[in-house]
Amino acid sequence: MSPRTRCRQGGAALLAAMLTVTLVATFAATALWQQWRSVEVEAAERTRIQSAWILIGALDWSRLILIEDSRAGGADHLAEPWAVPLEEARLSTFLTADRNVTQIDDAGGGEEAFLSGQIIDLQSRLNLANLVSGDTVNEAALAQFERLFAQLGLPPAELTALVQALRQAQAPGNESTDAPLMPQSPSQLAWLGLAPRTLALLAPHITLLPERKPVNLNTAGAEVLMATLRGLDRAGADRIMAVRQMQPFRSVDDVKKLLGEQIEVSGSEHGVASSYFEVHGRLRMGPTVVQERSLVRRMGLEATTVWRERTGARVPGMS
């Protein structure tokens, strides 16, 4: 065999060996990636299921707090236990307190879990359900929203368009394809024509409940108080909040005595007790954050969940 032939055979063998190594490395990398992907999917699914059950437990806890408050009776105000927000705390602290042990790993010993939450009285806000009933506009409620729009510097034309859209959405027997769908929460008002800026400014002051409900004067903010009580200025709103902080109003008559005859307080539009609450829950497990928002309706010693909304995200800068 000539030297040139031997050189060619050696080159072919080297090339075959390099191809074999390349194929083996490719297959190994593919198998490793598939295994890593399976582990990540399994971990994400486990985190999702754990988060869901923990937030369900937190919602049940909130409902229990509301039921116990109802058992005590009386008006609803911001000095009650349900109104105290839960700052972010390690989940294991709740479990150790319940089981009287010194250390419990969070959520199965993996990532540490941190829970926070808050209960908000939705009757502390202006209710959009009060605006329109079928095809009829409630003039008193409309006047309240007009005052709120004026306080926030929002264009009255958007309120007019909103009322018209609500009338079309609730009109009996309206089968027109142009009629908008009735929203279920204020965050969906964008499809009724509200601009994003308007919606952002209104969000802390309005709600959309399944039925007409009065404003709770024990929990309403200054903007809502000035909107719902015709003729009330900022000083009067601050006075109401200062008085109720020292002694919550036990009835609407207490507010009437405080304000006198100059400000009209209506028993049908104002109250001191609430039936609808929004429960916020936030669970952080490692880089993953799961948030849940629920509408709870309390009637007597029963607290039922009307709807729940859950979103997930990842903490920036964490992997």
**Length of the chain in terms of residues written:** 319
Architecture of the domain made up of 42-122+275-314 = 2-Layer Sandwich (3.30)
Ranges 41-50, 82-91, 110-119: which has the least confidence = 41-50
Q: Dump pLDDT digits (tens) for 1-23.
A: 566 666 666 667 777 778 888 88
- CA-based nearest residue to 62, from 124, 116, 126, 106: 116
Phi-psi region of 206 (alpha: psi -120 to 50; beta: other; left: phi over 0): beta
Q: Dump pLDDT digits (tens) for 245-288.
A: 999 999 999 999 999 888 889 888 999 999 999 999 999 887 78
Highest average pLDDT, of 33-42, 146-155, 278-287, comes from: 146-155
249 pairs with which residues across the strands?
A: none
SS3 263: coil
Would the pLDDT of 98 be above 60? no
Give residue 295's identity as a one-letter amino acid code. L
SS3 216: strand
CB atoms within 10 A of CB 198: 19
Q: How far is CA 214 from the centre of its chain?
A: 21
Domain boundaries, the chain: 42-122+275-314, 124-271
Sign of the four-CA dihedral 197, 200, 205, 206: positive
| Whole-structure pTM value | 0.81
Q: Dump pLDDT digits (tens) for 221-232.
A: 999 999 999 999
Interacting residues of 189 by C-beta distance below 8 A, sequence separation 6+: 128, 162, 183, 199, 202, 208
